[in-house]
């Protein structure tokens, strides 16, 4: 057989088309290469028409043929990736804590909705403590252990291979999500690597990835044990993640190194303690306001572009109390003037068009008697859908 049939689905890059045309320029002039629309009955009277080109092997020097085959193997994975985006097929992994809220999110129809949105669910993983760990005491200690296991579940996935959705108990699960993203397994990352080399290996082992955080919450959760008024661990996770306090808890959760505060974008804050505000003022955290979210301000793009330059992976964390209180009536810590879930979903669509946005986490969902009409659950799903829509709009 001396004919090579080159398939050109719509998802193959323009570069591939250009290469094939340049490669076969000489044979094209001889009439040995024909498009599907050209009628060359005397040369192809017994050949079937295919989408693409038909090339005569006899007319191509061997060195060009070998070059072509090499490029074909290089571009094929890119073609498959492009096709998956074009068809809306997004590989998703669900990781969830072992409490009631995450279970309600999973069992309430999320998987069916993800399939309707064109996602392939690769796996669903749930945090499980060992029997020995379950016997340990101390709420803070248990929170660190759960984050440790949550991080391991996230880290099992390869970078750029999956969209990770975290179904979280509360905001202390932030530590586990960040730890897992820091240690994502090696994958096909060379296509987007930068001069600093993603996860390079040195004397100290594999370098953790730099993780950016978009924190979407009515509260900053930037308190330390010295500044907190409530004493709640749930008011401290961002401060812990940025290395400002409770180092042992952070290390037990697996988050190391701590996040520089310039990697953090605080979004929709409306209820900040006085001493907590002082810590924020002295930090390098950036801010997005409720109005930025509602108006889809260019500030969103500015911050996503900034994080994309500084970091290798971006995590978007959402506490459901960020929303308009009418959508989270069962949440005990709501604050007035929050965005609606539709407004926030539109902003998430913008954020997740950036390739480094790799994961979303939904925390503190009201459920059961606190969400009888499922208004909060539907709002949570709407936010996830916004992220999926953003990923679909990415260019390969």
- 225-247 average pLDDT score: 97
- Least confidently predicted of 11-25, 90-104, 267-281, 370-384: 11-25
Is residue 289 predicted with pLDDT exceeding 60? yes
Backbone conformation region of residue 138, classed left if phi is above 0, alpha if psi is from -120 to 50, else beta: left
Model pLDDT for residues 123-156, shown as the tens digit of each residue? 999 999 999 999 999 999 999 999 999 999 999 9
Q: Is the dihedral of CA 66, 67, 71, 74 positive or negative?
A: positive
- Can you tell me which residue has the tokens 């320029």? 25
Is residue 55 predicted with pLDDT exceeding 60? no
CB–CB of 331/364 below 8 Å?
A: yes
What local confidence, expressed as pLDDT, does residue 159 receive?
A: 79
- Look up residue 157 and give its two tokens: 């996935």
Please give the Cα distance from 92 to 79 (Å, whole number).
20
Q: Is the dihedral of CA 66, 70, 73, 76 positive or negative?
A: negative
CB–CB of 148/177 below 8 Å?
A: no
Model pLDDT for residues 293-303, shown as the tens digit of each residue? 999 999 999 99
- 49-60 average pLDDT score: 43
SS3 content of the chain, % helix, strand, coil (to 5): 45, 15, 35
Please give the Cα distance from 177 to 364 (Å, whole number).
15
Q: Is the dihedral of CA 7, 11, 15, 21 positive or negative?
A: positive
**292-319 core/surface letters (b: 16 or more CB in 10 A; e: else):** bbeeebebbeebbeebeeebbbbbbbbb
- 44-56 average pLDDT score: 39
- Look up residue 2 and give its two tokens: 């001396």
User: In this structure, are strands 286-288 and 264-267 parallel, antiparallel, or unpaired?
Assistant: parallel
Contacts of 177 (CB under 8 A, 6+ apart): 150, 151, 154, 166, 168, 315, 317, 359, 361
> Can you list the domains of the chain with their CATH numbers?
3-81 (no CATH), 88-392 (3.40.800.10)
- 332-344 average pLDDT score: 97
CA-to-CA dists, residue 238 to 243, 366, 390, angstroms: 9, 22, 25
Is residue 327 predicted with pLDDT exceeding 80? yes
CB-count exposure of residue 363 (10 Å: 0-12, 13-18, 19+): buried
Please give the Cα distance from 290 to 270 (Å, whole number).
9
What local confidence, expressed as pLDDT, does residue 185 receive?
A: 76
CB–CB of 165/90 below 8 Å?
A: no
């Amino acid at each position: 057989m001396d004919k090579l049939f080159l398939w050109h689905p719509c998802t193959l890059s323009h570069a591939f088309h250009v290469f094939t045309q340049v490669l076969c320029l000489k044979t094209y002039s001889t009439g040995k290469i024909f498009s599907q629309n050209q009628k060359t009955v005397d040369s192809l009277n017994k050949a079937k028409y295919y989408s693409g080109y038909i090339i005569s092997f006899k007319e191509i020097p061997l060195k060009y043929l070998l070059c072509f085959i090499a490029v074909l193997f290089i571009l094929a994975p890119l073609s498959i990736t492009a096709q998956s985006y074009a068809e809306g097929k997004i590989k998703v992994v669900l990781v969830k804590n072992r409490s009631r809220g995450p279970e309600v999110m999973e069992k309430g129809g999320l998987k069916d909705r993800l399939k309707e949105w064109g996602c392939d669910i690769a796996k669903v993983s749930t945090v499980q403590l060992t029997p020995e760990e379950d016997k340990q005491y101390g709420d803070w200690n248990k929170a660190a252990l759960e984050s440790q296991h949550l991080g391991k579940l996230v880290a099992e996935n390869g970078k750029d291979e999956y969209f990770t959705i975290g179904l979280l108990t509360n905001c202390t699960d932030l530590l586990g999500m960040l730890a897992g993203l820091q240690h994502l397994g090696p994958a096909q990352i060379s296509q987007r690597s930068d001069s600093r080399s993603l996860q390079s290996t040195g004397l100290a082992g594999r370098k953790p990835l730099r993780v950016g955080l978009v924190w979407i919450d009515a509260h900053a959760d930037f308190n330390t044990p010295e500044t907190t008024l409530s004493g709640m661990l749930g008011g401290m996770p961002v401060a812990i993640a940025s290395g400002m306090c409770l180092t042992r808890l952070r290390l037990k959760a697996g988050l190391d190194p701590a996040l520089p505060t310039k990697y953090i974008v605080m979004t929709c804050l409306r209820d900040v303690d006085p001493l907590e505000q002082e810590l924020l003022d002295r930090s390098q955290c950036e801010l997005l306001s409720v109005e930025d979210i509602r108006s889809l301000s260019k500030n969103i793009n500015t911050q996503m572009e900034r994080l994309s330059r500084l970091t290798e992976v971006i995590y978007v964390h959402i506490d459901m109390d960020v929303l308009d209180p009418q959508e989270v009536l069962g949440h005990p810590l709501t604050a007035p003037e929050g965005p609606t879930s539709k407004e926030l979903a539109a902003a998430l669509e913008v954020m997740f068009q950036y390739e480094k946005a790799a994961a979303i986490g939904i925390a503190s969902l009201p459920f059961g008697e606190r969400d009888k009409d499922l208004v909060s659950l539907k709002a949570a799903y709407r936010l996830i859908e916004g992220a999926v829509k953003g990923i679909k709009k990415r260019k390969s």
